[in-house]
């Protein structure tokens, strides 16, 4: 089931894959929302989840869906086996689907060998693939997101991340960041990213390009509705 439909521009990015600022609180509205309990790695989110999120973060830039493909589900399961933090499989995903090539999607942990498994990243449709837009979600404890996403020393080409703005969506304040064009920026080269923090864990969502802040925010709201409320 696709929801929040509008036009979508397709663009590519690639590569391997500043500090977080937002600090939301969970609320009664969030805890009782239709998205609560949809963090399962195998079940699709209920249509009511999309309706709830659309009231908080309406989307016009592209279509999102509550139906996660088997490739998304398998990637979430893979990340859950690797990470030492809870992996939240995104309840809302771009409706264009995931390309069949297994080399162009997957789960990743910390970039540095031997680093604590307190970070995960799910990436889909890597590169420039007609009909499929690149998107990324993930989370990390402490400063692991800064270390694995924002540190220019881990990129093949130097660059700078720009903080754009902060905006509140329901119970959550989200910060938006702009990564430099690929080949700088690592996995997020050419992306803008939405980021929020809940009880010591930073969550993020990003669709390739500069014009999908609404969809980034909607995907992130759906994820945050399933974020653990305990430290």
Query: pLDDT tens for residues 204-231?
Result: 999 999 999 999 999 999 999 988 864 3
168, pLDDT greater than 80: yes
- Looking at residue 81, what is its pLDDT? 93
What whole-number distance in Å separates Cα of residue 225 and Cα of residue 228? 9
Q: What is the pLDDT of residue 26?
A: 38
- The vertex-35 CA angle with 76 and 20, nearest 5°, equals 65
Asked if residue 16 has pLDDT above 70, the reply is no
Instruction: Please check whether residue 230 is in contact with residue 199, taking contact to mean a CB–CB distance below 8 angstroms.
Output: yes
Q: What is the pLDDT, as a whole number, of residue 116?
A: 74
Is 4 exposed, middle or buried, given 0-12, 13-18 or 19+ CB atoms closer than 10 A?
Answer: buried
pLDDT digits (tens, 9 = 90+) for 38-86: 444 456 666 688 888 999 999 999 999 988 999 999 999 999 999 999 9
pLDDT at 48: 83
Residue whose structure tokens are 């930073």: 202
pLDDT digits (tens, 9 = 90+) for 78-132: 999 999 999 999 999 999 999 999 999 999 999 877 677 899 999 999 999 999 9
Per-residue confidence (pLDDT) for residue 144, from 0 to 100: 95
Whether 162 has a pLDDT exceeding 70, the answer reads yes
The answer to whether 31 and 185 have CB atoms below 8 angstroms apart is: no
Nearest residue to 181 (alpha-carbon basis) of 5, 21, 45, 11: 11
- Which range (35-44, 168-177, 187-196) has the least confidence? 35-44
Q: Pick 190 or 7 by higher pLDDT.
A: 190
Whole-number pLDDT of residue 224: 94
Max alpha carbon distance in the chain (Å)? 45
């Amino acid at each position: 089931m696709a929801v929040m439909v509008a036009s979508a521009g397709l663009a590519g990015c690639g590569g391997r894959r500043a500090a977080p600022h937002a600090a939301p609180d969970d609320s009664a509205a969030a805890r009782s929302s239709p998205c609560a309990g949809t963090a399962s790695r195998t079940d699709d989110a209920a249509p009511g989840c999309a309706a709830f999120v659309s009231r908080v973060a309406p989307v016009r830039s592209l279509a999102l869906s509550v139906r996660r493909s088997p490739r998304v589900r398998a990637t979430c399961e893979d990340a859950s086996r690797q990470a030492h933090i809870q992996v939240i499989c995104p309840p809302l995903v771009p409706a264009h689907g995931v390309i069949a090539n297994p080399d162009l999607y997957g789960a990743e942990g910390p970039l540095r060998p031997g680093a604590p498994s307190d970070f995960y990243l799910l990436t889909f449709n890597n590169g420039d693939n007609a009909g499929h837009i690149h998107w990324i979600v993930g989370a990390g404890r402490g400063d692991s997101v800064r270390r694995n996403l924002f540190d220019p020393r881990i990129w093949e080409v130097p660059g700078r991340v720009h903080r754009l703005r902060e905006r509140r969506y329901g119970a959550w304040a989200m910060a938006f960041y702009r990564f430099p064009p690929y080949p700088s920026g690592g996995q997020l080269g050419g992306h803008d990213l939405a980021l929020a923090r809940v009880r010591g864990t930073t969550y993020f969502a990003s669709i390739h390009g500069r014009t999908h802040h609404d969809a980034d925010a909607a995907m992130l709201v759906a994820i945050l509705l399933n974020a653990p409320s305990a430290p």
